[in-house]
Amino acid sequence: MKKLLAALCCAIAFCAPANAQEANVSKYKIGDYEFISLNNNTGAVSESLIINKDALEGYKTEGWNSNSLNYFVLKAGGDIILFDAGLPLTHGGKIAQRLQEAGLKPGDINIIAITHMHGDHIGGLLDAQGQPLFTNAKVFIAKEEAAHWQNNQDANAVLEAYKNQITLFKKNAKITGAVKSAPLFGHTPGHSGFIIKSNGQQVYVLGDVTHLTAQFANPEISVSYDVDPKAALKTRKNILAKVARQKNTHIAGMHIYKPGLGKLAKAEKGYTFTPAN
């Protein structure tokens, strides 16, 4: 896990939450479903990781570089779906603890939808012994994503441990009746979002389309974690424009400051993001 951890440890600075009063588990109603945000930790992105520092000009307002590590659970009909699993339990990952705080056990999860295979998203799939933590879950990963990481030791440990539970999906796949995938390639070659729809409400789970708050005000701001920064930028601009046009739509991001769920609106320049209560 070392190589992936090196990349992700820059992404998440382990500093104290800006507001310790904020909950680490927040529950919402989306149509007929329950959507639960679980926060692993909060932090700030170092300016040294911004690859186009000129884009920051005028955008370094308070909290500009705040971020989080989140994962989400959707209760939809009989399914309990987990979106990403955070860091390895041996490296600061809190998935088991947060699930417990939400009244859930790893064995309750029957579907896991993975946005991409960076260590801060798949590390929590394994227990301390490197075995599957989620023994009852089918795990969905984009075909392109698994292909890209198959020679990476850490990603391969997950693919190997879950080999009897994994489904590799193609673009715009139906994951369950409640969830569809959407290709958001760029951050990684198979980076995928997920669209949840229920009773006139929608959530777009956007994975790592953004890493810091200022990217809403100026989507041009780019970070060094993107495997293909140009493609990641194009994807970010397209998807933010699309969701900002849609009504009754929330976005959820793994690195949006907790709870990581909120609404996006077009502003004069860029967008404003309003967190869910």
Which residues contact Zn ion (rule: CB under 5 A)? 120, 208
- For the bound state, the minimum distance from the C-beta of residue 244 to Zn ion, rounded and expressed in Å, comes to 22
In angstroms, the CA 62 to CA 230 distance is 27
Min CB(255)–Zn ion separation in Å: 6
Shortest CB 45 distance to Zn ion, Å: 11
Q: Which CB atom, from 208 or from 226, has the smaller least distance to Zn ion?
A: 208
Neighbours of 76 (CB within 10 A): 21
- Edge-first strand order for the sheet with 79-83 is 25-30, 33-44, 66-76, 79-83, 111-113, 138-142, 166-169
**What span, in angstroms and rounded, lies between the C-alpha atoms of 108 and 117?**
22
Q: Taking each helix axis from N to C terminus, what angle separates 2-11 and 153-161, rounded to the nearest 10 degrees? A: 110
SS3 labels along 132-196:
ECCCCCEEEEEHHHHHHHCCCHHHHHHHHHCCCCEEEECCCCECCCCEEEEECCCCCCCCEEEEE
Minimum distance from residue 116 beta carbon to Zn ion (Å)? 8
Query: Of 67 and 176, which CB lies nearer to Zn ion in the complex structure?
Result: 67
How far apart CA 208 and CA 191 sit, in angstroms, is 8
- Least distance CB 164 / Zn ion (angstroms): 26
Give the nearest distance from C-beta 23 to Zn ion in angstroms. Answer: 21
Taking the complex as a whole, how short is the minimal distance between the CB of residue 6 and Zn ion, in angstroms?
13
Biggest distance spanned by C-alpha atoms of the chain: 51
CB of 4 to Zn ion, least distance (A): 10
CA R_g for the chain: 17
**Pick 33 or 149: Cβ nearer Zn ion:** 149
Query: Measured from the CB atom, is 120 or 226 closer to Zn ion?
Result: 120
Buried b (16+ CB within 10 A) or exposed e, 247-272: eebbbbbbbbbbbbbbbbeeeeebbe
Residue among 16, 41, 69, 63 at smallest CA distance from 225: 69
Q: Could you give the CA distance from residue 59 to residue 48 in angstroms, rounded to a whole number? A: 15
Judged by beta carbon, residue 201 or residue 215, the one nearer Zn ion is 215
C-beta closer to Zn ion: residue 76 or 214: 214
Cβ closest to Zn ion, residue 120 vs residue 144: 120
State which residue, 34 or 44, has the beta carbon closest to Zn ion: 44
